[in-house]
Amino acid sequence: MSPERYQRISDMLAKRQTDLTVCIENVHKPHNVSAIVRTCDAVGIHRVHTVWEKKYKMRGATAMGSQHWVRATNHDSIGNAVCALKQQGMQILVTHLSDTAIDFREADYTRPTAVLFGQERYGVTDEAIAMADQDIVIPMMGMVQSLNVSVAAALVLYEAQRQRQIAGLYNTIHLPEAERQKFLFERGYPRLRALCMQKDLAYPHINHVGQIEANEGWWQQLQLSSEAVRALEVDEAAN
């Protein structure tokens, strides 16, 4: 991994917000899923949560453009997803028009927060609404009553980013060092990562200039010749 790539990844990881996330429920159109994940990456979200019923389930090969940079956790049900998020101390906001809904800009996103977004046509399920702590709405002044789900997600998440920037939350490192190390190796050395997966090897330490620190035994377990190791290092450094 080149020093420039290491620095860019490190800078990105330093701003990751582990206590801000989204949960997308039955959003099944690939371009919408991809757009939401890209926005999550852009505002510094480290992990997204998904729930798909069988009829909405996407094929495993469906690409989520920024999945290389944003972790994803799928849940069997919206109940399991919300329970897991609440166990992390997150408030649950849901985009839903109701008598108790507030303008999305009035919510406090400096708190640990998960925002639920629902299926393109029908929105979130009644179960999701019942489990949420607060309904939020995006004010509409025209004839249409809703925005595309990926557009709605972008508006809400950039308001969350705005509030968190003002509060200085992007100046504090949230990501645990173990997760940072894992991410640096996986994205900085994808070919070596694949070999580690094949051989069930632990990831090595990545030092402050982005280089692998591992003893000879680790390299031997990869069963690579010295020439092959040098070739891989050169190839990875060029990326």
Q: Would you say 147 is a known binding-site residue?
A: yes
Contact 19, 112 (CB under 8 A): yes
Judge whether 169 is annotated as a binding position.
no
| Residue 155: other Cβ atoms inside 10 A | 15
CA-based R_g, the chain, Å: 20
> What DSSP line would sit under 56-115, residue for residue?
GPPPTT---TTTTTSEEEEESSHHHHHHHHHHTT-EEEEE---TT-EEGGGS-TTSSEEE
| C-alpha of 51 from chain center | 14
* Strand pairing category for 20-25 and 71-75: unpaired
User: Is 138 annotated as belonging to a binding site?
Assistant: yes
Binding residues: 95, 138, 147
Binding residues for S-adenosyl-L-methionine: 95, 138, 147
